[in-house]
Chains A and B, each alone.
Chain A
Amino acid sequence: MKTAADTAHGAGEIVLAASDIVKSYGNTHALKSVNFEIHRGKVTTLFGENGAGKSTLMKILSGVETPTSGSIILDGEPVTFSSTVDARDRGISIIHQELSLAPNLNVRDNIFMGRELRTAHGVDFAEEARQTAALMASLEEDIAPTTLIQALRLGQQQLVEIARALSVNSRILIMDEPTSALSAAEVELLFKVIRDLTSRGVSIVYISHHLEEALEITDYAVVLRDGSITATAEAKDIDLEWVVRNMVGENFDLGSPPSGYDLGEVALSIDDVSIADAANAERSVVDRLSLDVRAGEIVCIYGLMGAGRTELMESIAGRVPMSGGRILLEGQDISRLSIADRIAKGLGLVPEDRQRDGLVQTMSVGANLSLASIGVFFKGLLMSRPQEHTLVDDSIRDVHVKTAGGDAPIGSLSGGNQQKVVIGKMLMTEPKVILLDEPSRGIDIGAKAEVFRLLSERAAQGLAVLFSTSEVSECLSIAHRIIVMRRGRISAEFGTDVTKEQIMAASGEAVVA
């Protein structure tokens, strides 16, 4: 089955074509008429920034979501996938960034989960084990079928996922950020497996933020931006610069650093801060990092996933304990204070994951807005309803939340407006320093611009702003200073006169000659 001659018969022909795919969530258009093709026995890489629509497209191709309109043609036949099982039965499997294995079960049971081989006497474990061993051998990874998943390294777990996909005869394998948690050696192994799979006629769809790595393995490159395909090319015709240019595009104007005033004193001082890795105490996710932010200044932290941005932000806010160093707010050491005390002193965090950490979904817009400040405003036994209404209404106006009113449920708002509520909640506490972890995540470009405008207005009034992003174009908007983080340290610091390529080079994403 595995011959080099495979390339001769039919490799490269289009096995799946998605045409005019549109996906809308309420008013948000995640995909706008996307045409996407997968070639037999080839690696097709999907490039794009966060929120460009990569994941949505993959969810549609793998049956997790159904498109609002458009069609999918598999082997020349139009198909619709009602579920992931349906897509899997037709030969399409997806391996998510977060693996979907049961860590408490062994390799064999995971591979045959949900489709156990049955005999009259129960499950045919022997046959399952035999097939598992054969699969693992074909991937040249000698893992015993009875090994527990939790005993395996992450790279090995990923191979088990691949083996599971192969066990159902997948012809199209979608890999979402497969290398983000792998070591260099494991990446090598994965690439070897991918090449082996393609030579067997399996088509791979590859998604990664590590552009160079992806370019190394890919045959076709497709670039997605703001829900539309902006460029398609064969890998041999393109280079990194082409990818970056098409990914980032001509800038939507996200604003420029506020000017016309002098920066104030140092408001936030991060002094030699280290944070231990929760999973492995010997490793530091943030390593002796120091940084000052002055009143009125906007500082942007750029870095890839795993660079330590989120840990740093959460540690400043008091959620994650530091393993060393100090945090000073206007010269006062706040390292030992609780989250509530830090908010009271004037430091607030807008967390990365809005749904998980930012909003209370069971409460109204108004109750969410006032949550962080009610303890400050109402010292007495009872709250004053009219007073709270006034505060909420003011805040809705201030941060431009589009809502039916303070009593509207938070779930009725669009992502961008929900994000404004989270920001408004922190601004209501009248902070001196505001931290925002990926404030533009999952919101559309218009809302993004509004959020940035709001931040620059507040900075001009003396607020110190520290925000993180994984989108280069956002660094070059309102920030006075750009800090690039890589593996827990500051790898570069830039002013406003920097190029995207320089920033990406410093983050380890791309090394441009």
Chain B
Amino acid sequence: MTDKRRDDSSPARATPNAGGLRGLSVGKLLLEGRAFFALIVIIIVFSSLSPYYFSLNNFLTMASHVAIYGILAIGMLLVILNGGIDLSVGSTLGLSGVMAGFLMQGVTLKMFGVTLFPSVWVVVLLACALGALVGAINGVLVARFKVPAFVATLGMLYVVRGVALLMTNGLTYNNLGGKPALGNTGFDWLGFNRLLNVPIGVLVLAVIALIFSVVLSRSVFGRWLYASGGNERAAQLSGVPVKKVQIYVYIVSGVCAAIAGLILSSELTSAGPTAGTSYELTAIAAVVIGGAALTGGHGNIRGTLLGAFVIGFLSDGLVIIGVSAYWQTVFTGAVIVFAVLLNAVQYRRRVKRPETTGKNSDSSHPMSPARVAGAVIKNAVNKNTAG
């Protein structure tokens, strides 16, 4: 009898959420898989326009470009799922590279009159720790001191970039190779080596993506993240440690940025203080194209990865077929705006509720027009300054 009761499905079935994909229709499939279809279209179009585009080697090269954005975007996804934003990741990426460059040159301790040359693993760990520190500062500002995420991380964007410039006096570390005699060689492994013909950067991206897709879908932390992003008040009243979750996502974002910084400086064999400028916006764009809601609670790793690949494959494709850099920025911007538009379509359908309680709050609208507009403007501004 009780089973019978459960089978009485309620009349108004809305769209399933990201967690449970049941029931398929063509329109919904196209909407939910839009990043995937966009990627296919991009590959088909550029392959027909250029004979060089469709080759394994080119894909691997493009993938290694995507890796940087992808790693940033995964960290960004966690922050955005929480309903926040992290504008400091581009600067953190730069600082991480500079930190690595600084350590590779040797640390002179005047007090003891010695110069230490930490091995590459130590360098990597210290750079990641630095990223975690930046993230922790962001997290504490946002969670404990209630500074709006946009403002807190915007401030850190400047501070961190400034620190990177101070550390190098505006110059670039060109020698990251290390010396065998000092035992600190191997930094170029991250950017140049391949394992089974796949660039290490891409493998790092894959590992990070795998870890966090399990974290998001299978761990208690992941559930807490979706809940506090979806409705912080309800999550808090359900005993979710919302502040702790908030701090952790910024730390993860900081560490991801640091890893991306290490890979980038290894690929470039140099670490400049201005590396990664405006990358935070590309990362946000990847997350948004991947279907995440800027208001939090919606989104997943798969979508974000696809978003990163869409941006990477599009811009590299435009380079390959020789479109001018100015047009590239126009195209990229258009794709982003279109993606946000589709997000608005997707999430608007969920706003309708079967009934309302007395005090109806608007806070639960997954994507308000103001937020969408904000995102679009932000990206537009980025493209202007970058181009």
**A associates with B:** yes
Residues of A within 8 A of B (CB): 25-28, 30, 50-51, 55, 317, 319, 338-340, 342-344, 349, 351-364, 367, 370-372, 374-375, 378, 381-383, 385, 393, 396-397, 400, 402-405, 407-409, 411-415, 417, 425, 429, 441-442
The answer to whether A317 touches B237 (Cβ under 8 A) is yes
- Report if A319-B236 is in contact (Cβ < 8 Å); known contacts: A362-B231, A382-B214, A407-B16: yes
The answer to whether A367 and B359 touch across the interface, beta carbons within 8 angstroms, is no
Task: State whether the Cβ of B174 lies closer than 8 Å to any Cβ in chain A.
Answer: no
Known: A26-B12, A354-B357, A355-B357. A371 touches B238 (CB 8 A): yes
Flag whether B10 is at the interface (Cβ < 8 A). Answer: yes
Partner of A361, one of B16, B18, B230, B240: B230
Chain A residues lying within 8 Å of B229, measured Cβ to Cβ, are 362
Asked, given contacts A357-B237, A374-B220, A402-B8, whether A363 binds B353 with beta carbons under 8 Å apart, the answer is no
A361 touches B364 (CB 8 A): yes
Q: Are A360 and B12 in contact (CB under 8 A)?
A: no
Q: Is there an interface contact between A396 and B16, defined as CB atoms closer than 8 Å?
A: no
Chain B stretch 1-55: residues in CB contact (< 8 A) with chain A:
2, 5-6, 8-20, 22
B297/A362 in contact, CB under 8 A: yes
Q: For the complex, count residues of B whose C-beta is within 8 A of A.
A: 55
A342 to B226, CA, bound (A): 22
Task: Enumerate B234-276 residues with CB–CB distance to A below 8 Å.
Answer: 234-241
Q: How far is the CA of A208 from the CA of B359 in the complex (A)?
A: 16
Contact with A along B209-228 (1 / 0, CB 8 A): 00000100011100110110
A482→B358 CA distance, assembly (Å): 24
- Point out which of A30, A351, A355, A362 has the most chain B C-beta atoms below 10 A from its C-beta: A362
Interface pairs (11), CB distance under 8 Å: A27-B11, A319-B236, A340-B240, A357-B233, A361-B366, A371-B240, A375-B239, A382-B218, A402-B10, A405-B6, A409-B16
Shortest distance from the beta carbon of A367 to any chain B beta carbon, whole Å: 6
Chain A residue at minimal CB-CB distance from B81: A362
Q: Does B354 sit at the interface, judged by CB under 8 A?
A: yes
Residue of B nearest to A56 (CB): B356
Cross-chain contact A355 with B230 (CB below 8 angstroms): no
Q: Is the interface of B mostly helix, strand, loop or mixed?
A: loop
Give the shortest distance, in Å, between B252 (CB) and chain A (any CB). 15
Q: Are A55 and B10 in contact (CB under 8 A)?
A: no
Q: Across the interface, do A408 and B237 meet the contact criterion of CB distance under 8 Å?
A: no
Q: Is B324 an interface residue (CB 8 A)?
A: no
Which B residues touch A50, using CB under 8 A?
Answer: 358
**CB nearest to A393 among chain B residues:** B6
CB distance from B291 to the nearest CB of A (A): 13
Most A C-beta atoms less than 10 A away, residue of B13, B229, B366: B13
Contact with A along B345-387 (1 / 0, CB 8 A): 0000010111111111101101000000000000000000000
Tell whether A414 pairs with B354 under 8 Å between CB atoms, given A356-B359, A364-B20: yes
Residues of A contacting B350 in the complex (Cβ-Cβ under 8 angstroms): 361-362, 409, 411
Given contacts A317-B237, A405-B6, A407-B20, contact A362 B359 (CB under 8 A): no
Closest B residue to A371 by beta carbon equals B238
Contact with B231, one of A25, A51, A360 (Cβ below 8 angstroms): A360
Shortest distance in angstroms between B135's beta carbon and chain A's nearest beta carbon? 21
Residues of B within 8 A of A408 (CB): 9-10, 13, 16, 20
CB contact under 8 A between A407 and B22, given known A355-B356, A371-B223: yes
CB–CB B238/A343 < 8 A: yes
Q: In the complex, A383→B216 CA distance in Å?
A: 11
- List chain A residues, Cβ under 8 A from B231: 356-357, 359-362
Say yes or no: B239 contacts A411, CB within 8 Å.
Answer: no
When the two chains form their complex, are residues A360 and B230 in contact, meaning their CB atoms are under 8 A apart?
A: yes
**Bound CA span A328–B353, Å:** 38
B298 close to chain A: CB less than 8 A: yes
The answer to whether A353 and B16 touch (CB under 8 A), given A360-B297, A361-B364, A372-B239, is: no
- Asked if A415 meets B297 with Cβ closer than 8 Å, knowing A375-B220, A404-B13, the reply is no
B239 and A26 within 8 A (CB)? no
B10-A411 in contact (CB<8A): no
- Contact pick for A409, options B2, B14, B224, B227, CB 8 Å: B14
A362–B298 touching, CB < 8 Å: yes
Q: How far is the CA of A268 from the CA of B332 in the complex (A)?
A: 60
Q: Which residues of chain B are near A370, meaning CB under 8 Å?
A: 223
Query: What are the 10 A-B residue pairs with the smallest beta carbon separation, nearest first?
Result: A407-B20, A362-B297, A362-B230, A340-B239, A442-B357, A360-B230, A404-B9, A372-B238, A343-B239, A26-B354
| The residue from B226, B233, B363 contacting A367, defined by CB atoms under 8 A apart | B226
A321 CB, nearest partner CB in chain B, Å: 14
Complex Cα distance A252/B231, Å? 35
Known: A50-B358, A382-B219. A363 touches B19 (CB 8 A): yes
Whose C-beta in chain A lies nearest to the C-beta of B222? A383
Q: A26-B11, A339-B239 are in contact. Are A397 and B357 (CB under 8 A)?
A: no
A360 touches B354 (CB 8 A): no
B226 touches A362 (CB 8 A): yes
CA distance A510 to B37 in the complex (A): 65
- Which residue of B has the minimal Cβ distance to A343? B239
Q: Is there contact, CB below 8 Å, between A403 and B9?
A: yes
Set of chain B residues within 8 Å of A361, measured between Cβ atoms: 230-231, 297, 350, 353, 364, 366
Q: Which residues of A contact B298 (CB under 8 A)?
A: 362
| Residues of A with C-beta under 8 A to B238 | 343, 371-372, 425
Could you tell me the distance between the alpha carbons of A503 and B226 in the complex, rounded to whole angstroms?
Answer: 43
